[in-house]
């Protein structure tokens, strides 16, 4: 079964490359017994992918059990997963099989696996390593043959740093990671999904299909969608039921989008993406680097202003940008060269008493700026990565990865 057949069978709508990649990985890993972790925000459709993996595996005739780890109280989670003996605790009037026993020979989907208590994580690690578990209230070891697919919307690296998730369990689970992009990264798919939901609800409630005007489509595509596909589906249903006019314009649509203006911003502006100095992804790190680099630019402006005020240089604003003329033919690069700017060969060659013209052009490479900030932080803290990472607002693990990625010499 190819990727398109799988999408059609499981009702997956969209042509985003990241989504296509996720489906393709699920298809390829299904025939194996490798453990899989599905990463993605809430509402991105993570629950569909364990079914893809199960139904395209050799275990498809076995049991498939989905467990929401975040919905089970901490006091009963071990009993639910591994079973218990009669009298193991108050209310245990008879022995009970756990999910790992029931799903023997099949697949178990652990949704929100990051919510598991540490004690339960230790039990789960034993199952993954040896297939062994012990019922609550028993001393007898039992065996199970279960394929585990897990899903989470937490940042595993933050959880590991805070010791809320076991590192050995993470590496055992995360044999094959699958990433599901949020809806805001699938802009071309948003209107396709909305039309699908609108048609479904029109058939369900026996009413005409709602249509969006061109300005409403723009609003739909540019919204941040914190609730992802689940939120989009709910809004399509609300509009289908409430609006009498089946042609929906932007003004009407905005009534159903909570806090549109505050949510329709880049991710670096959202406070929930910054927790204890750690960012969710590299793009936000770059944005932070650029913000921090603003002070460097301001410092450069001050240096140039002082040089112009003292008469040492003359700044001319021409059609191609600002050009600085060095009247004293001194090494002006020594004063300005460490502020993230590039100095080109003089436009006018220095001959006799002719002024030297230096064109100043700011580098636009995000990678160069990031490397520069990392080097400055390491120099400032004398190579101590922990302090440098704190200064940059990133984790030490992320800093170590970037040092290797950019081959930065400390």
pLDDT in tens, 193-206: 999 999 999 999 99
Report the pLDDT value the prediction gives residue 271, as an integer from 0 to 100: 38
Mean pLDDT of the chain, nearest integer: 82
Report the pLDDT value the prediction gives residue 135, as an integer from 0 to 100: 95
Out of 183-187, 270-274, 316-320, 393-397, pick the least confident. 270-274
Which residues fall within 8 angstroms of residue 25, CB to CB, at 6 or more apart?
Answer: 176, 178
Q: Is the dihedral of CA 323, 325, 326, 329 positive or negative?
A: positive
Report the pLDDT value the prediction gives residue 358, as an integer from 0 to 100: 46
Out of 17-26, 236-245, 310-319, 323-332, pick the least confident. 323-332
Residue 183's alpha-carbon distances to 217, 225, 324, 331, 343, in angstroms, are 15, 6, 47, 52, 42
Looking at 77-213, list the stretches that DSSP marks H as alpha helix, in order from N- to C-terminal side.
77-82, 99-102, 118-130, 156-161, 167-173, 187-205
Query: What is the value of pTM for the model shown?
Result: 0.63
pLDDT in tens, 256-312: 998 754 444 444 334 344 333 344 445 555 655 666 666 667 667 667 767 766 766
pLDDT in tens, 400-410: 778 877 788 76
Mean pLDDT of 326-353: 44
**pLDDT of 375 higher than 70:** yes
pLDDT in tens, 158-179: 888 888 999 999 999 999 999 9
Mean pLDDT of 48-58: 96
Confidence of residue 396 (pLDDT cuts 50, 70, 90): confident
**pLDDT of 68 higher than 90:** yes
Q: Is the dihedral of CA 56, 62, 66, 67 positive or negative?
A: negative
Closest CA to 22 of 8, 36, 1: 36
Looking at 206-350, list the stretches that DSSP marks H as alpha helix, in order from N- to C-terminal side.
214-222, 228-242, 250-254, 260-263, 282-309, 332-336
């Amino acid at each position: 079964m190819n990727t398109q057949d799988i999408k059609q069978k499981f009702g997956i709508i969209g042509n985003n490359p990241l989504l296509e990649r996720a489906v393709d990985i699920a298809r390829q890993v299904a025939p194996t017994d490798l453990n899989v972790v599905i990463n993605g925000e809430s509402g991105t459709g993570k629950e569909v992918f364990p079914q893809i993996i199960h139904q395209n595996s050799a275990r498809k005739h076995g049991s498939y059990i989905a467990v929401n780890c975040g919905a089970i109280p901490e006091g009963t989670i071990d009993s639910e997963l591994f079973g218990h003996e009669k009298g193991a605790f108050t209310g245990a009037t008879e022995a009970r099989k756990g999910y790992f026993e029931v799903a023997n020979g099949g697949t178990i989907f652990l949704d929100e696996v990051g919510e598991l208590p540490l004690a339960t994580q230790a039990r789960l690690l034993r199952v993954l390593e040896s297939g062994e578990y012990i019922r609550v209230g028993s001393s007898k070891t039992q065996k199970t043959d279960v394929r585990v697919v897990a899903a989470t919307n937490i940042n595993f690296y933050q959880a590991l740093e805070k010791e809320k998730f076991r590192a050995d369990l993470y590496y055992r689970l995360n044999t094959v990671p699958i990433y599901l992009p949020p809806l805001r990264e699938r802009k071309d798919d948003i209107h396709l999904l909305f039309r699908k939901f609108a048609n479904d609800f029109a058939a369900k409630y026996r009413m005409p299909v709602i249509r969006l005007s061109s300005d409403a489509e723009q609003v739909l595509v540019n919204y941040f969608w914190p609730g992802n596909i689940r939120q989009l589906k709910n809004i399509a249903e609300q509009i289908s039921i409430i609006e009498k006019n089946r042609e929906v314009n932007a003004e009407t649509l905005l009534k159903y989008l909570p806090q549109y203006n505050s949510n329709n911003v880049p991710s670096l502006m959202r406070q929930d993406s910054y927790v204890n100095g750690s960012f969710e992804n590299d793009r936000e790190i770059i944005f932070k680097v650029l913000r921090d680099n603003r002070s460097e630019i301001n410092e450069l402006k001050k240096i140039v202003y002082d040089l112009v005020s003292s008469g040492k240089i003359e700044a001319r604003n021409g059609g191609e940008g600002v050009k600085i003329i060095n009247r004293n033919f001194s090494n002006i690069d020594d004063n300005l060269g460490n502020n993230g700017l590039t100095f080109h060969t003089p436009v006018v060659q220095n001959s006799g008493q002719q002024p030297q013209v230096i064109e100043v052009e700011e580098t636009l490479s995000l990678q160069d700026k990031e490397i520069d900030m990392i080097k400055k932080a390491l120099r400032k803290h004398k190579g101590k990565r922990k302090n440098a990472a704190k200064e940059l607002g990133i984790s030490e693990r992320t800093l170590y990865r970037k040092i290797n990625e950019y081959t930065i010499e400390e």
